[in-house]
């Protein structure tokens, strides 16, 4: 291949003048370097990135070169020059592709690409989805078919991870990866050696990141020079600095917090001691205006329990007052590293903001066989070493599942369970999962609640098989905040799966439980719009267990359903609530929809859009089935025709679902 070549750390970036794209070639200065495995991911919440990095790590252990890139980091025109590709794709919303895949996908859909364009290219696809959605893993299925249509050859059948599986997406990932490595070993036995995996597991290599320690006195003097920086700005700088140095976030999450919000209200919506704790939070900013739309999502970076942070620091014998920077030892992404000037940060601050040590759901790779081998290497007690080695073996997989996934142990708990393990901080930084943001649907309207953001959050708790109480990390933290203390909460605003509707668009909203959150914003927004002109009607179906215990925002809905409000019958709308446990036979939102089938069909016939939000277990599927029955009954068509009608509604972007586990 001819073109301009940029050499850096053994990586050539070759620009091919024929196709006008940059083609990455890993050479390490050797022309006979075996073919690399290019792993392309499209992630919305970070899970696809987790899987892609795991594939890359395992490829390296086999002796191959695993290059992990986001789809928005590569020119799709270069795919034809690859030999082996692995795609890891999340499905969002109603079968939508992630934002980072948009440009890549548009290129693949070009009509001028022939059926042999990808001839000679071998590929595998793993999808991450939720079977609670109608279009389960739709993005992965579409990509798989398109690659095949363009002449690429599948190495193995596509893998489909399901959030509804007891083990999550990993229930499908483990056997899929095993099949992938076995097939690649048959195709390229020297490049993908199964023997190398066994060998790599038994040799402790050096960590891929290094900790640089800085003289505390010198740092104190430098920091005193920045004392003029306003407090809020300094907090933002600390968050950005810590998270940009996190190895798992390196190059992927260098976003500055959009702003810092202060909680001004923490109110329990459910009846005390009813068995459920749903909270209404109101947040506001003191520094700048808040810009968002109804239907948007707020990501929150929770604070970890300082007692647990201190316990982690003491357990690992760390110097809390030292200042550090975290630097990669070599290029890990397959592209030249653009050096970033990093400001030293206190070790304690780095742990607090970048290392997830207290969440009840540590990322899987902390329990990968390789990590357990690393822990066993540093274990001085023989029985602990044996147990870690057992967990890392195929024979110990079921027991590891019981120990980890079922009990949802935190990183701190695992380290406390193996007290003789003393890993250097370099290894801890590499292996401990990053502290992730948590997304919540916004339940306010910027027009109705200027300069505020409202959230409707269920405070989650459950019992493990061994009767240990677990609590949702972020929801529990939020519920414990006192608005009087003025805690600053770092947040990011993102587009959700529910686009804001025009005032002229009739709406059918279905939101049981905390699924009502975005629709509280929709209704409030339309109320403001109705003050300046006519607006289309809204039908809203809400559901909860008991009218007395968990009728969320009861006064709000009723007030807008009366006196010519936007939910009133006078305006062509309506508010209908299903109390599932206030009678012997359970009643859900889909039953209320069928009771009002004429109203639903009337609005659908008038061009209404359907919005569904709430639990992803059965509700979205049950609502879709109820819609099919209503359309079939009221229009006189078959169930199959009604289903096709709804599919067309989806294609026209008039059927939206936002669901969560």
- Stretch 634-651: mean pLDDT, rounded? 92
The CATH classification of domain 209-254+304-431, taken from the options 1.10.540.10, 1.10.10.10, 3.40.50.300, 1.20.990.10:
1.20.990.10
Query: What whole-number distance in Å separates Cα of residue 288 and Cα of residue 451?
Result: 8
CB 81 within 8 A of CB 120: no
Task: Give the residue range(s) of CATH 3.40.50.80 domains in the chain.
Answer: 507-660
- Res 249: pLDDT: 60
Please indicate if the annotation marks 641 as binding a ligand.
Answer: no
Q: 70 a known binding residue?
A: no
- Residue partners of 530: CB distance under 8 A and separation at least 6: 503, 566
151 is in an annotated binding site: no
Identify any residues that bridge with 438 across adjacent strands, giving them in sequence order. 300
Considering the chain, tell me which residue range(s) the CATH 3.40.50.360 domain(s) occupy. 34-201
Which residue intervals of the chain bear CATH 1.20.990.10? Answer: 209-254+304-431
Q: Is 92 annotated as a binding residue?
A: yes
Q: How far apart are CA 351 and CA 225, in angstroms?
A: 24
| Architecture of the CATH domain 507-660 | 3-Layer(aba) Sandwich (3.40)
What would the pLDDT profile of 384-403 be if each residue is shown by its tens digit?
Answer: 999 998 887 777 877 887 88
Q: Report how far residue 420's alpha carbon sits from residue 439's, in angstroms, rounded to the nearest whole number.
A: 37
Tell me the C-alpha distance between 121 and 104, whole Å.
17
138 is in an annotated binding site: no
C-alpha–C-alpha distance, residues 608 and 174, integer Å: 43
Is 45 annotated in a binding site? The answer is: yes
CA distances in angstroms from 410 to 142, 166, 415, 549, listed in the order given: 36, 18, 9, 33
**DSSP states of 200-227:** HHTS----SEEEEEE-HHHHHHHHHHTT
Residue 581 assigned as binding residue: yes
Residue 590, annotated as binding a ligand: yes
Q: Is 514 annotated as a binding residue?
A: yes
- Other C-beta atoms closer than 10 Å to the C-beta of 243 total 25
Residue 190 annotated as binding?
no
Across the range 567-585, mean pLDDT stands at 95
pLDDT digits (tens, 9 = 90+) for 117-158: 999 999 999 999 888 777 889 999 999 999 999 999 999 999
Find out whether 520 is annotated in a ligand binding site.
no
Give the model's confidence band at 97: pLDDT under 50 very low, under 70 low, under 90 confident, else very high: confident
Per this entry, what is the length of the chain?
661
Q: Evaluate whether 593 touches 623 at the Cβ level (below 8 Å).
A: yes
| CA 500/CA 251 separation, integer angstroms | 31
In angstroms, rounded to a whole number, what is the distance separating the alpha carbons of residues 409 and 402? 10
Confidence band, pLDDT 50/70/90 cuts, at residue 285 = confident
pLDDT in tens, 410-448: 899 999 999 999 999 999 998 888 888 899 999 999 999
Select from 511, 518, 513 the least CA-distant residue to 441.
518
pLDDT digits (tens, 9 = 90+) for 481-539: 999 998 889 999 988 889 999 999 999 999 999 999 999 999 999 999 999 999 999 99
Rounded Cα distance between 540 and 517, Å, is 12
How many other β-carbons are positioned within 10 Å of the β-carbon of residue 154? 14
397 contacts: CB under 8 Å, gap ≥ 6: none
Residues 258 and 562: their CA atoms lie apart, in Å, by 38
CATH architecture of 34-201: 3-Layer(aba) Sandwich (3.40)
């Amino acid at each position: 291949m001819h073109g301009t070549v940029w050499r850096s750390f053994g990586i050539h970036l070759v620009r091919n003048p024929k196709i006008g794209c940059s083609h990455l070639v890993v050479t390490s200065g050797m022309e006979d370097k075996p073919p690399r495995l290019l792993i392309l991911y499209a992630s919305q919440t970070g899970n696809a990135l987790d899987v892609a990095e795991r594939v890359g790590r395992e490829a390296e252990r086999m002796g191959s070169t695993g290059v992990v890139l986001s789809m928005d980091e590569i020119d799709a025109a270069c795919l034809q020059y690859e030999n082996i590709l692995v795609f890891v794709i999340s499905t969002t919303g109603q079968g939508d592709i992630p934002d980072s895949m948009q440009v890549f996908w548009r290129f693949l859909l070009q009509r001028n690409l022939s059926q042999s364009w990808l001839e000679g290219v071998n590929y595998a696809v793993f999808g991450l989805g939720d079977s609670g959605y109608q279009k389960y893993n739709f993005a992965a299925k579409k990509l798989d078919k398109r690659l095949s249509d363009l002449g690429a050859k599948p190495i193995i059948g596509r893998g489909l991870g399901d959030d509804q599986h007891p083990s999550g997406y990993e229930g499908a990932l483990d056997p899929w990866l095993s099949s992938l490595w076995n097939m690649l070993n048959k195709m390229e036995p020297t490049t993908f050696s199964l023997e190398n995996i066994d060998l790599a597991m038994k040799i402790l290599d050096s960590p891929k990141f290094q900790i640089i320690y800085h003289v505390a006195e010198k740092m104190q003097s430098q920091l005193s020079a920045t004392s003029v920086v306003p407090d809020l700005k300094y907090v933002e700088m600390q968050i950005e600095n810590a998270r940009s140095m996190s190895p798992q976030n390196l190059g992927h999450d260098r976003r500055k917090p959009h702003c810092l919000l202060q909680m001004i209200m923490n109110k329990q919506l459910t009846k005390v001691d009813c068995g459920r704790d749903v909270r209404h939070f109101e947040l506001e900013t003191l520094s700048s205006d808040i810009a968002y739309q109804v239907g948007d999502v707020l990501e929150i970076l929770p604070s970890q329990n300082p007692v647990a942070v201190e316990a982690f620091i003491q357990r690992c014998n760390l110097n809390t007052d030292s200042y550090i920077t975290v630097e990669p030892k070599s290029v890990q992404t397959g592209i030249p590293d653009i050096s970033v000037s990093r400001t030293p940060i206190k070790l304690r601050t780095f742990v607090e903001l970048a290392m997830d040590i207290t969440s009840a759901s540590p990322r899987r790779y902390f329990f990968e066989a390789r990590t357990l081998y690393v822990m066993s290497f540093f274990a001085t007690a023989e029985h602990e070493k044996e147990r870690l080695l057992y967990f890392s073996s195929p024979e110990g997989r079921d027991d590891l599942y019981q120990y980890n996934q079922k009990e949802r142990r935190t990183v701190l708990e695992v380290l406390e369970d193996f007290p003789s393990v003393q890993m250097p901080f370099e290894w801890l930084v590499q292996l401990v999962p990053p502290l992730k943001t948590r997304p919540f649907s916004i339940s306010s309207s910027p027009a109705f609640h200027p300069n505020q953001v409202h959230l409707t959050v269920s405070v989650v708790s459950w019992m493990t098989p061994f009767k240990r109480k677990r609590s949702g990390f972020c929801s529990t933290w939020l519920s414990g905040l006192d608005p009087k203390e003025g805690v600053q909460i770092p947040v990011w605003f993102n587009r959700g799966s529910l686009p804001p509707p025009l005032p002229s668009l009739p709406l059918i909203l279905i939101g049981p439980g905390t699924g009502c959150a975005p629709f509280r914003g929709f209704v409030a927004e339309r109320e403001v719009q109705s003050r300046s002109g006519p607006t289309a009607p809204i039908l809203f179906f809400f559901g909860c267990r008991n009218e007395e215990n968990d009728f969320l925002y009861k006064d709000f809905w009723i007030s807008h359903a009366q006196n010519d409000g936007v939910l009133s019958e006078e305006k062509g709308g309506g508010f209908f609530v299903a109390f599932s446990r206030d009678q012997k036979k359970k009643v859900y939102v889909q039953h209320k929809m069928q009771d009002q089938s004429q109203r639903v069909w009337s609005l659908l016939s008038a061009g209404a859009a359907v919005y569904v939000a709430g639990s992803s277990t059965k509700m979205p599927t049950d609502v879709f089935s109820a819609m099919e029955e209503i359309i079939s009954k009221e229009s006189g068509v078959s169930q199959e025709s009604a289903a096709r009608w709804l599919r067309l509604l989806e294609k026209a972007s008039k059927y939206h679902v936002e669901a969560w586990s």
